[in-house]
Amino acid sequence: MILNFLSMKKQIIFLTVLFVSLMSGCRSKNTIPEKTEESIRVKTVVAAEGEISPVNEYSGTVKAFREANVGATLPGKVEKYYVREGDFVKKGALLAEMSGELYTQAEAERIAVSKDFERVKRLLEKGSVTQQEYDHVKAMYDATVEKTEMLRKNTRITAPFDGIVAEYLVKEGENYFFSLPLEPGYSMTSGLVKIIQTDQIKVVFEVNERDLRFVKPGTGISFVCPALADTFHARVSSIKPIVSTITRSATVEAVCANKNFTLLPGMSAYVFINLPPVKGIIIPDNAIYNRQGSSIESVFVIRDNKAHEIKVERLASRNGLTVVHDIEPGSLVAITGKDKLYENCPVILADK
């Protein structure tokens, strides 16, 4: 009986220890703190309604307003130049003189035919020749006079307009033949000397077919040349009525005054055209987030200290600002910490 009592006592002690252990374990579990999400500190800006006038930029080239490769009608030897490269010349000024062998022969022929014509003219008055014979000799005389005048002009090369002598295409003493210049950028005609008009210049650039609706004759543009510090202004003078099948663009020319002759043909230019204003919600460029490996752009709007990702589409950009239509005006938009944010994550506003 004593043994049974001792055995029962051991059981009671065991059960008591077990109960205490279980209660301690439950108490330990209840005291473990719950894990909480860490808030991300961000800076924000307020999205506001407004408009932006976007600017399109194009690469262009400065060209002479007018140019001509002045040459002779017939081949021949360049006897003498009366101008030097860089000289300013007036329209009609003598530029060069060609050899005159053909002109000398034609002049001798003209004198001989002229004598025959005068003789036949007198005979016609006396009735000694028919009208038909007279007309035949007169036609020969007229043709000889025109030929002689053409050859005379061929020996004296004059400027077709006011301009600057850009370069000799054939040197003095060389023989001139019809040929096509291989140097790019020049008009494809042969000549003795190149004359350019640069008191005005043209800026030539290519406009993509999508933007052609914004460009018309008379449209104002601005441009800068890397070689010069100034900004210049011009107006579109012509648009080629054809789009390249390779570049899908059309050639546009704009004319600019060049009174100080600071703009030189061949200079590179960056052309800027103001487009119509675009209205919407304005946010800074650094508010737009692009996940690595994705072309989708989005912003993080902060509401109730939570981040919400919203996809956006850029409608226009200028000077670090962008217009979108996909968020509400007055929204708080994150501009820092975007790479750490995700949908519905807690945030702390660094601005406050």
Q: How far apart are CA 198 and CA 202, in angstroms?
A: 9
Residue 221 pLDDT greater than 90, yes or no: yes
Which distant-in-sequence residues (6+ apart) come within 8 Å of 81 by Cβ? 95, 96, 168, 172, 193
Residue 8 pLDDT greater than 80, yes or no: no
Where is mean pLDDT largest: 10-24, 29-43, 162-176, 241-255? 241-255
Which residue(s) pair with 318 in the sheet?
321
Indicate the average pLDDT of the chain: 85
Any idea which fold 42-52+278-349 has? 2.40.420
pLDDT band at 11 (very low <50, low <70, confident <90, very high): low
pTM over 0.75: no
The domain spans of the chain are 42-52+278-349, 97-156
Average pLDDT over residues 213-235: 95
Architecture of domain 97-156: Orthogonal Bundle (1.10)
What per-residue confidence (pLDDT) applies to 3?
39
CA dihedral for 103, 105, 110, 115, sign (positive or negative): positive
Residues 183, 171 contacting (CB under 8 angstroms): no
pLDDT band at 233 (very low <50, low <70, confident <90, very high): very high
- 286 three-class SS: helix
Short-list 178, 175, 196, 176, CA closest to 188: 178
What per-residue confidence (pLDDT) applies to 31?
46
Short-list 277, 251, 276, CA closest to 59: 251
What per-residue confidence (pLDDT) applies to 164?
96
Q: How far apart are CA 348 and CA 352, in angstroms?
A: 9
Q: How far apart are CA 71 and CA 81, in angstroms?
A: 12
| Topology alike, domains 42-52+278-349 and 97-156 | no
31 or 306: which carries more pLDDT confidence?
A: 306
- DSSP-derived secondary structure for 293-345: T---EEEEEEETTEEEEEE----EEETTEEEESSS-TT-EEE-SSGGG--TT-
